[in-house]
Structure 1
Amino acid sequence: MPTKPRRKTYRHGNVKAEAITAAARLIARTGHEALSVRQVADAIGVAHRSLYNHFADREAVLDAVATEAFARLGEILKSAESKEDYTARYVRFALANRKLYALMTSRPHATMKLNPPLQSAVHQVITEGMRLFTTSDQTSAERRRAMMKVFIIHFGGITQYTAGILDLPSEDALVAELAAMTAGR
């Protein structure tokens, strides 16, 4: 009795984790704007329809990649020992992962409450910043404002630097400039 040939799209293993890893690689190459579920499926060798068993849609794939990236950044920031060190680690992560950082900063904060894993990963980054940039005697509004200022300065500086708008000679110069700004100097 002849056997049927094996389907090329059938896979064992953790399809969701493999899809997130593949999506992150694709984003690093071409950016998140161009990513499709079909590209991710092709990269891991499954039918694109099978990814819908793990992700509701393309945005869910992007959120999953952003969640892992924020978690990774949060881990990096845990060992920051000063405001300057936090800024250096944050900026270097963003510059080393430019397209991934663009995805991370594209996630709408207003909808994060609908995605607890993403919200938790983002809050890990915020918590590490609060540890260094705020004090316990500040009100929650003052702490929130202090962190918003830090993120606005970081995001603005990184965005202008990568666009070639800031005339700084190196990444180290950018780090030094942003560290001075966030330290209030």
Structure 2
Amino acid sequence: MSERSYHHGNLRSALLDRAGNVIESDGVEELSLRQLARDVGVSHGASARHFRDKHALLDALAVEGFHRLNAELAAAASSAGSFADRFRAVGMAYVEFAVAQPALLGLMYRAKHHPQASAELVGASGVGMRGLVALFEQGQESGDLREGSADEDALVAFAAVHGVATLATDDLLDGVPWRDAAERTIDFVWRGLMGG
């Protein structure tokens, strides 16, 4: 390990952090491994030891994004309150993540569908949905949700919440604050889940 890499502590993390900043401010197209290396003060060769090419960097960035999103969703699902409160917290956590990091979220979903997506990325991308299905199964077991297919209900809930997140990040809410739109969407889905 060179003195420069050691100075940065964890070069891989420094490169990922800087890459995340670049895609949020300038877009994925502007991301360059050479420029990232310059930005964090190392040679291109040093950065290439961690990421062989731009695809590997984007894959790793998407994996990190899913890990962060999954942690936020899991924390919301296990928060205090009623089942309805936890359901709403999960939905809002997803939309808040999307609004805070729209370029990263877009990259995450594009990267997971890339033919060369790593097994780690594919695995990480499914954790949130599995957690939502598990939450719905818990709600059915406790009697807080009607009986039915937890898989189907989770998919519909995800589609609605992801939809409002996309509208918010694409500035297509016609002046409605994203938080209001998200809360209304989540409440609408909740009423549907309770309606049988």
What amino acid is aligned across from residue 21 of structure 2 in structure 1?
A: R
Q: Is the 8 A contact 2:16 2:57 kept in 1?
A: yes
Change (3 A) 1:59 1:173: same
| CA shift for structure 1 position 184 | 5.2
Give the helix-richer structure, 1 or 2. 2
Map of 1:157 onto structure 2: 164
| CA shift for structure 1 position 134 | 4.6
Map of 1:33 onto structure 2: 29
* Residue number among 45, 49, 57 corresponding to 2:45 in the alignment: 49
Structure 1: distance between partners of 2:114 and 2:56: 15
| CA shift for structure 1 position 64 | 1.0
Q: Is the 8 A contact 2:65 2:104 kept in 1?
A: yes
| CA shift for structure 1 position 87 | 0.5
* Superposition map of 1:110-121 within 5 A: 111=115, 114-121=117-124
Map of 1:126 onto structure 2: 129
| Structure 1 stretch displaced more, 21-30 or 67-76 | 21-30
What amino acid is aligned across from residue 61 of structure 1 in structure 2?
A: L
The one-character-per-residue Cα deviations of 1:135-160 (angstroms, maximum 9, x if unpaired) are 689xxxx5544443333322322222
Q: Is the 8 A contact 2:66 2:108 kept in 1?
A: yes
The one-character-per-residue Cα deviations of 1:31-89 (angstroms, maximum 9, x if unpaired) are 22321111211111122233222112101111111111111111111122422111011
Structure 1 runs not aligned, ≥5 long: 1-6
What secondary structure does 1:105 align onto?
helix
Q: Is the 8 A contact 1:87 1:178 kept in 2?
A: no
Q: Could you tell me the percent identity over the aligned residues?
A: 27
Write out the 4+ residue segments of structure 1 that deviate beyond 4 Å after TM superposition.
134-137
* 1:108 and 2:102 matched: no
| Structure 1 stretch displaced more, 94-103 or 117-126 | 117-126
* 1:17 and 2:13 matched: yes
* Superposition map of 1:75-114 within 5 A: 75-81=71-77, 82-109=86-113, 111=115, 114=117
CA RMSD of aligned residues (A): 2.7
Map of 1:65 onto structure 2: 61
Structure 2: distance between partners of 1:134 and 1:110: 31
The one-character-per-residue Cα deviations of 1:86-116 (angstroms, maximum 9, x if unpaired) are 101110111112222222222233647x513
| Structure 1 stretch displaced more, 16-25 or 165-174 | 165-174
Structure 2: distance between partners of 1:49 and 1:40: 12
What secondary structure does 1:153 align onto?
helix
* 1:183 and 2:190 matched: yes
Structure 2 runs not aligned, ≥5 long: 78-85, 142-148
